[in-house]
Chain A
Amino acid sequence: NAGVTQTPKFRILKIGQSMTLQCAQDMNHNYMYWYRQDPGMGLKLIYYSVGAGITDKGEVPNGYNVSRSTTEDFPLRLELAAPSQTSVYFCASSYGVWANTIYFGEGSWLTVV
């Protein structure tokens, strides 16, 4: 049981490039989330999904897109990367609306130069 797995762990992008952060969970959780964390700050919700085929915006969705074609996978796409998207990205998942625990991945460090 690997939990929540994120790839890549580190990535450097040039301004204007695009990339996809991968997230997979093997706990059969229906809820999945993407957060970003800027240095010295708390986590901010980018997008979330309540099940396959259903996604919704969080607090800071601009510049990102997501899809949820399967229960296991929730990729986050960055289009036209900007320096403001330099951050640590965390994927998370939980089971059900009243899930007591949200499980986080280990994070993906992204630098846009």
Chain B
Amino acid sequence: DAKTTQPPSMDCAEGRAANLPCNHSTISGNEYVYWYRQIHSQGPQYIIHGLKNNETNEMASLIITEDRKSSTLILPHATLRDTAVYYCIVRVVTGTASKLTFGTGTRLQVTL
């Protein structure tokens, strides 16, 4: 299973872009990068995913380096409600099941 490394915590001013990095140097060619977030001990919430191309949706953008060894989640205009723990996950597909392996994530604190 490919492992991910994230900084334990980050701060961001409200209205500014939050850039959350993730290293996944052992990722294999058919593994996707997923991002989830967990707000105050609620169930994790899906944000975005990608394989090799950059992706954007209504919540965030995902930038994956050409060698796929790292990625960055971008929240373009962070708000206080974006304060959460953000998990970068490399998707493992084993047999007929798809499982997510969660690390400890990055705790993002958005401040006024």
Contacts and interface: CB of A to CB of B under 8 A. Distances in A.
Interface residues of A, number: 30
Contact of A97 (B43, B45, B96, B105): B96
B96 A42 contact: no
Nearest to A35: B102
Contacts of A45: 99-101
Nearest to A54: B96
Main secondary structure of the interface of B (DSSP, over half): loop
A41 interface: yes
A61 to B, nearest CB: 13
A33 B46 CA distance: 15
Contacts, number: 55
Contacts of B46: 100-103
Contacts of B44: 43, 90, 102, 104
A21 interface: no
B56 to A, nearest CB: 15
How extensive is the interface on chain B, given as a class? Answer: 10 to 19
Interface in A21-78: 31, 33, 35, 40-45, 48, 50, 56, 58-59
Contact of B103 (A42, A101, A102, A107): A42
Interface of A: 4, 31, 33, 35, 40-45, 48, 50, 56, 58-59, 88, 90, 92, 94, 97-107
26 contacts: A4-B43, A31-B97, A31-B98, A33-B100, A42-B104, A43-B102, A45-B99, A45-B101, A48-B97, A48-B99, A50-B97, A56-B97, A92-B43, A94-B98, A97-B93, A97-B96, A97-B98, A98-B93, A98-B98, A99-B98, A100-B46, A101-B46, A102-B46, A102-B100, A106-B42, A107-B41
